[in-house]
Structure 1
Amino acid sequence: MTSGGRQHAPCLIDFKRALGCLLLAARPALAARGDNPPHVADPFADPKDDPYNPLGYIASNTLTTIAFDLVLVTAIAHAVSMWKWRAWWLTCLIVGELTFAFGLGCRYALHNTPDSRGWYILEYLFVILSPCAFIAADYIILGRLVRHLGCERHLRIVPPHRITLFFILSDIVTFLIQAAGGGISSGTSATSGKIGTKIFLVGLILQLVSFFTFTSIFVIFLLRIRKHEPAIWTRDRDAGKTLFWDWRALAIALAISCVGILIRSVFRIAEMSQGFGGAIARNEGLFYGFDTLPLFIAVVVWAVVWPGRFIRAPPKPKAVDEEVTAGQPMELVGGPIQASLDSYEAQGSGAIMVHHR
């Protein structure tokens, strides 16, 4: 969809709508539980065994600050790159980074009020659902790269002209499943919590299957280009471009992003298989080491290799009055008019200057 000559990612509107529906669904649970349920012990004394502490630990402000700042700076860097190199079709990437940073910022509140269910729900849902936008960005980048190289015939399983749409739709579906699971699990009863956890886990598994399929298609595509299209594989290097401007740098960046997202997806499935109160979910080091760090690597790589540097939007067609302005010479190249002029000049009639009047 275009607006004012700018291209917007198809996932942006659906992402925002789904997130809004999710928060509305979670509102009754927040009201039922209250932001500060009563507790009988000091919440800072023994957080691991405190039944009112959903994290099972006191969130570290130091780690929160490091993670929050890195993600926010990355989002700003991407916004600057978007302004400089365009690629408005990656708007969803920046939106996802901002919502992810917001989720991390909620951990400041959890540090001060570790027994707050409201802040925990906001933190968890924003942190775990925002990466859906990162995944959508990778889907869009591969679709654009395939068309940029003109190698649609080497794409397997999914039709080349539908690969972005197919995986974006799968991303939206898995997002909604996770959102539904998160909303149900935030209910007041133990039964709703178990059902919501299972639904959430199904959404994570489907997301992993979808993204692993996408990654496999991407790897096969690169292998086929290298084997069957050696001229395209080395075209930027043969043209004297450095790796910084070689399209293969974009492919390497996409591969790094895919690996980071896959690591995070496997971690989240392992976490949810134990439930919200499992040992993995209650370990802050594992959260930063296998969730935040891989996701950060998956997005910060685009600050170095911004796709807009390699894949430019086609220039807008110029109007006739922009092509030829009054008082400037009009060059006639090719066609019968040029042939007649060449023939006339060959007969010794002198140079001819044709002006647009």
Structure 2
Amino acid sequence: MASRTTSSLLSQALLLLFAFSSLAVARQIPANASDINPFTDPKDDPFNPLGYITSNGLTAMAVAITLAIALPQTWFTWRIGGRFMLAMVIAEYTYTLGIAFRFGLHTNPDSNAFYILYYLFVTLSPCGFIAAEYVLLGRMARWLGANNHVLIPPRRITLVFVCSDVATFLTQAAGGSISASAHTNPSKAQAGSRVFLVGLVLQLVSFAIFMCVYTRFIYRVRKYQPEVWTRDRGMKWYKDWRALASAMWLSCVGILIRSVYRTIELSEGFDGFLTRTEVYFFALDFVPLVLALVCYIPFWPGRFIPANAALPEASPRQPSTDGTLPDKTPDLREKEDEKV
């Protein structure tokens, strides 16, 4: 499953390169625009896609923070395990690269090339974060032996939601491609931005549904399998699987906040107030995503979930008539007896 997720991420990377070759900013530049100093009045500069001069200080801070998250997680993946989180780790580096392009926009604020690279990597990299959350839920359900509490079978939940992630990615790329030929066609530019917006809305809806599925899963494990819910009660809090579950929920909240922001931002258009105000990018895009990622440094999933977490699914638990679950299936008890 990890290889399938990685392949999905690589496919998105190829699509990202394709989108870069065709995406253009959906804005109109006056044909008779006079020469102006881009640093004197960036807000009214028709060639400046952001409408402000990026801060090198904030950019450097953001790059340092994202690398401080990506590097430890890379080490965790190699030394501890958790290759099923590889989509998140790779996307952290592409997100960092996207932020780094703001350095280029600081010295060349009118550069479409720097803006396109920045916008694509920053906007589309979180697809990798989202894909990792999808994989983690399936792994967690199988590891706990709580398959019946997930609305979608754990082996399929990753496929279902990752496919929706790829579909929304393609929709956003299509919107960008439509905007590519919209330099002199305002209606076409608007159509491209609307298609891009549809992709963001679908991504937001898909992830919101996933959060509901995950919340229901945690609730049902606590209610119907108290022996699983309290299995790590005697251990230190940072070794309790419920800490990982809480970290995942907090991570999902961060991604959801960022998705809402991006949807509202694009609904205003590429020249909207949110797009042309730097503080909102850091407050509503960068900070929520940092929150979503940093949760997994102290609670790295590979430290909790073993590589053979898929084995219990061979003996699925069936709900009893009162809605509870049996302690263990006969096959699972037999396997444990053999180990003893």
TM-score, normalising length: structure 1:
0.81
**1:184 alignment partner in structure 2:** 178
Does 79-88 or 107-116 show the bigger shift?
79-88
Once the two structures are TM-superposed, the CA of residue 249 in structure 1 deviates from its matched residue by: 0.6
Q: What is the CA–CA distance in structure 1 between the aligned matches of 2:122 and 2:200, rounded to whole Å? A: 14
Q: What is the CA–CA distance in structure 2 between the aligned matches of 1:47 and 1:59, rounded to whole Å? A: 10
Q: Deviations over 1:32-66 (max 9, x none)?
A: x9xxx996100000001111100000000011011
Once the two structures are TM-superposed, the CA of residue 87 in structure 1 deviates from its matched residue by: 1.1
Task: Describe the SS at the equivalent of 1:40.
Answer: coil
**1:262 alignment partner in structure 2:** 256
Q: What is the CA–CA distance in structure 2 between the aligned matches of 1:310 and 1:201, rounded to whole Å? A: 37
Q: 1:24 to 1:228 in 2, by over 3 A?
A: closer
**1:101 alignment partner in structure 2:** 96
* 1:248 has 2:242 as partner: yes
**2:6 alignment partner in structure 1:** 12
Q: What is the CA–CA distance in structure 2 between the aligned matches of 1:39 and 1:218, rounded to whole Å? A: 55
Once the two structures are TM-superposed, the CA of residue 90 in structure 1 deviates from its matched residue by: 1.3
**Given residue 228 of structure 1, which amino acid in structure 2 is its aligned partner?**
Y
8 Å CA contact retained: 2:22, 2:180: no
8 Å CA contact retained: 1:9, 1:90: no
- Structure 1: runs of 5+ lacking an equivalent: 2-7, 316-333, 336-357
Q: What is the CA–CA distance in structure 2 between the aligned matches of 1:98 and 1:284, rounded to whole Å? A: 22
Q: What is the CA–CA distance in structure 1 between the aligned matches of 2:172 and 2:267, rounded to whole Å? A: 14
Once the two structures are TM-superposed, the CA of residue 76 in structure 1 deviates from its matched residue by: 0.5
Q: What is the CA–CA distance in structure 2 between the aligned matches of 1:25 and 1:142, rounded to whole Å? A: 30
Q: What is the CA–CA distance in structure 2 between the aligned matches of 1:11 and 1:46, rounded to whole Å? A: 45
Q: Deviations over 1:276-327 (max 9, x none)?
A: 1001110100010000110111011111110001101129xxxxxxxxxxxx
**2:117 alignment partner in structure 1:** 122
* 1:299 has 2:296 as partner: no
Q: What is the CA–CA distance in structure 2 between the aligned matches of 1:13 and 1:96, rounded to whole Å? A: 13
**Given residue 253 of structure 2, which amino acid in structure 1 is its aligned partner?**
V
Task: Describe the SS at the equivalent of 1:15.
Answer: helix
**Given residue 20 of structure 1, which amino acid in structure 2 is its aligned partner?**
L
User: Equivalences for 1:304-343 in 2 at 5 Å?
Assistant: 304-314=298-308
8 Å CA contact retained: 2:20, 2:117: no
Q: What is the CA–CA distance in structure 1 between the aligned matches of 2:4 and 2:42, rounded to whole Å? A: 43
Once the two structures are TM-superposed, the CA of residue 160 in structure 1 deviates from its matched residue by: 3.0
8 Å CA contact retained: 1:39, 1:52: no
Q: 1:39 to 1:183 in 2, by over 3 A?
A: farther
**Given residue 46 of structure 2, which amino acid in structure 1 is its aligned partner?**
P
**2:64 alignment partner in structure 1:** 69
Structure with more relative contact order (C-alpha pairs < 8 Å, separation 6 or more): 2
Q: 1:283 to 1:299 in 2, by over 3 A?
A: same
**1:54 alignment partner in structure 2:** 49
Once the two structures are TM-superposed, the CA of residue 28 in structure 1 deviates from its matched residue by: 4.9
8 Å CA contact retained: 1:121, 1:186: no
Once the two structures are TM-superposed, the CA of residue 179 in structure 1 deviates from its matched residue by: 1.6
Q: 1:43 aligns with which of 38, 41, 60?
A: 38
Look at both structures and tell me which one has the larger radius of gyration over its CA atoms: 1
Task: Describe the SS at the equivalent of 1:236.
Answer: coil
Q: Deviations over 1:106-140 (max 9, x none)?
A: 00000000000111011001000000000000001
Q: What is the CA–CA distance in structure 2 between the aligned matches of 1:19 and 1:208, rounded to whole Å? A: 20
* 1:280 has 2:274 as partner: yes
Q: 1:29 to 1:212 in 2, by over 3 A?
A: closer
* 1:194 has 2:167 as partner: no
**1:134 alignment partner in structure 2:** 129
TM-score, normalising length: structure 2:
0.85
8 Å CA contact retained: 1:22, 1:180: no
8 Å CA contact retained: 1:125, 1:182: no
**Given residue 235 of structure 1, which amino acid in structure 2 is its aligned partner?**
R
